[in-house]
Each structure stands twice: as structure tokens, then as C-alpha cells.
Amino acid sequence: MKTIEDLRAVLFDTLAGLKDGSVDLERAKAVSDLSQTIINTGKLEVEYMKQTGKGGTGFVPQLEAPEPLNGKHQTATGVAVRTADGVSHRMR
């Protein structure tokens, strides 16, 4: 397990195993506890990235900064428009 996506896959596989009976409750609890520890280290990594401006270990994918908004910009949920006060988002 190297990325947050890998962790999600393990968690969902464990959930499916609980439902179909192939994973017992004790093992699922162990996976859950270990996953929480991994998530906590991921939170620490995000905080490190915020504070230092540096990349992390790769567990949390580093996204590229969005391009500056000039005029209207189509988003997944509507339209973002730059205003004098910042950016206004208009839902579809």
C-alpha cells in the first residue's frame, strides 16, 4: 500500500469481506486501526506540505496549482466568475 487510493481499496475490500463473510470482525478491526494510523500520518503530511510548501512522500498526491481565473471559468458544478471581492461560484 503506497497511496491513499491503495488504502481506500483495502478498506473497501475489507468491507466487502465483512459482508460476504470472508473477513472476520477481528481482522477487520485490525485493518481499521492500522488504516487510522496511516490516515493520521497522511494528515501530518498534508500539514507539512502546507507549512513548508514542499511536496510530500507521494502518499497524498500533490496537485498542480490551478491556473489564475480570468473572466468566467467552467467548473464541474457551475461557473466561477472573478469579482472585485474574489471569486463567485454560480451553481448550474
How far, in Å, CA of 45 to CA of 58, rounded?
A: 9
Angle formed by the axes of helices 4-20 and 25-52, to 10°?
160
pLDDT tens track for 62-89? 666 556 555 666 566 666 666 666 666 6
Contact 80, 72 (CB under 8 A): yes
Output the pLDDT for position 2: 77
How far, in Å, CA of 23 to CA of 3, rounded?
A: 23
Contact 51, 44 (CB under 8 A): no
- Span 21-32, mean pLDDT? 96
Which pTM does this prediction carry?
Answer: 0.56
Q: Mean pLDDT for the chain?
A: 79
pLDDT tens track for 39-64? 898 888 888 888 887 777 777 666 66
